[in-house]
Amino acid sequence: MWFSNGDSIGRLATDGVLHTFTGPDIDDAYAGIAVGSDGALWFTNSRNNSIGRVTTSGVVTNYSDTTIDQPWGIAAGPDGALWFTNASNNSIGRITTSGVVTNYTNPGIDTPFGITEGPDAAMWFTNANGDSIGRITTSGAITIYTDSSIGGPTSIVTGSDGALWFTNNDYNTIGRITTSGVVTSYSDPIINYPESITAGPDGALWFTGSWIGRITTSGVESVYKGPTLLISGGDPPGSAVTVTGAGFQPSETVRVVYKTGLTSPSLASVPICSATVTNSGSYSCPGRIPTEPAAGPHEDHTIIAKGETSLIEVKSTYYVGPSS
């Protein structure tokens, strides 16, 4: 798996071995990355307004152009070129594998973010501020689709049903648009600030937000939440605290410990409390934050909850204020 990582590009092998590629040509590359028709990885450099290319051996090439302005999403097109969104100058860019850039504008393009190849051999993109979905052919013809249910769309992907699926970050919904422009919106309390979306191997669409969500092409939604940890009280140091959360294995014991974030003094984990997880996977236990000076005032510290059976662990940063 290849991924953009700010000022580097990462490669994670299936055996867990991680390689990181850095260089002056990789600058704020955290938005888009795609496989090109040349077998290399192409990515967007949002800060230095350029498009990058990295081979599987780590050789990086950078392409700049006056029309590239805060590039965001990028995707391989059916014409063998890479297509990308320019969030700041409201345009769609195209770059060949030899580095030739073409720019396309339209009054309806407003802060484009995500882009993908559609099932109709055109490229589809989201207009985050324009509350619309755009389509551009490989010859540059642009169509903009609006609908009252589209709000702050960010990511877009082609689904197994031949439609385009996208996230509505402003409305907490998942949208679907057919190649003829018919829009359907799916809402549910479990959809919370959806951002990225991709087609899964199971034919469903998977998306990110406050947690991982899944929606089938028929609109059936489900959510996958990781373990949670909520802290109530505990300030000033030495005072009582209640730790609650969910996402653990029923009937297992969750142990909660405190560990300072300071480098000095170095404090080993201090037990706070433990609890037996309920059938719903939740837990709750009272405890007490360590007192000064061991805790160290005015610093961010960490509380950790770990299941003894599942070995699931969740951490939360906690600010320890001054003693009263």
Query: What does the pLDDT read at residue 322?
Result: 45
Question: Does one domain contain both 23 and 106?
Answer: yes
Query: Which residues, including other chains, have CB under 8 Å from residue 174's CB and lie 6 or more apart?
Result: 165, 166, 167, 168, 185, 186, 191, 194, 197, 205, 207, 213, 215, 221
Residue 190 has pLDDT above 90, yes or no: no
Query: Which residues, including other chains, have CB under 8 Å from residue 313's CB and lie 6 or more apart?
Result: 227, 304, 305, 306, 307
Query: What does the pLDDT read at residue 237?
Result: 67
Residue 293 has pLDDT above 50, yes or no: no
Query: What does the pLDDT read at residue 260?
Result: 63
- The CATH number assigned to the domain holding 51 equals 2.130.10.10
Q: Are 48 and 64 in contact (CB under 8 A)?
A: yes
Range of the domain at 200: 2-224
Residue 295 has pLDDT above 50, yes or no: no
Query: What does the pLDDT read at residue 323?
Result: 40
Nearest to 255 by CA among 279, 285, 227, 282: 285
Alpha helices in 43-143 (DSSP H): none
Question: Does one domain contain both 133 and 90?
Answer: yes
Question: Does one domain contain both 203 and 244?
Answer: no
Question: Does one domain contain both 172 and 301?
Answer: no
- The CATH number assigned to the domain holding 272 equals 2.60.40.10
Query: What does the pLDDT read at residue 290?
Result: 75
Query: What does the pLDDT read at residue 188?
Result: 87
Residue 159 has pLDDT above 70, yes or no: yes
Question: Does one domain contain both 166 and 303?
Answer: no
In this structure, how many other beta carbons lie within 10 angstroms of the beta carbon of residue 225? 13
Poorest-pLDDT segment among 74-88, 109-123, 181-195, 290-304:
290-304
Q: Are 253 and 274 in contact (CB under 8 A)?
A: yes
The CA radius of gyration of the chain, in Å to the nearest whole number, is 24
Phi, psi dihedrals of residue 3, rounded to the nearest 5°: -145, 155
Distance CA 103, CA 112 (A): 13
pTM recorded for the entire structure = 0.74
Query: What does the pLDDT read at residue 263?
Result: 45
Query: What does the pLDDT read at residue 41?
Result: 97
Of the residues 170, 189, 224, the one at which a domain ends: 224
Query: What does the pLDDT read at residue 227?
Result: 79
Query: What does the pLDDT read at residue 63?
Result: 97
Nearest to 153 by CA among 178, 126, 119: 126
Mean pLDDT of 49-54: 96
Distance CA 267, CA 63 (A): 49
Query: What does the pLDDT read at residue 298?
Result: 45
For residue range 249-276, list pLDDT tens digits in order.
899 999 998 876 544 445 567 888 999 9
Question: Does one domain contain both 157 and 239?
Answer: no
Residue 236 has pLDDT above 70, yes or no: no
C-alpha distances in Å from residue 191, one per residue of 34, 133, 172, 303, 310: 26, 20, 6, 28, 27
Is cis: bond before 297, omega within 30 of 0?
A: no
C-alpha angle with apex 230: 228 to 234, nearest 5 degrees? 150
Q: Are 296 and 270 in contact (CB under 8 A)?
A: no
Band (pLDDT 50/70/90 cuts) for residue 111 is: very high
Distance CA 274, CA 277 (A): 10
Query: What does the pLDDT read at residue 189?
Result: 81
Question: Does one domain contain both 247 and 146?
Answer: no
Residue 240 has pLDDT above 70, yes or no: yes
Which range in 79-93, 278-292, 306-320 is most confidently predicted, on average pLDDT? 79-93
Question: Does one domain contain both 247 and 132?
Answer: no
Question: Does one domain contain both 94 and 196?
Answer: yes
Number of domains in the chain: 2
Phi, psi dihedrals of residue 306, rounded to the nearest 5°: -135, 135
Tokens of 212: 């991982």
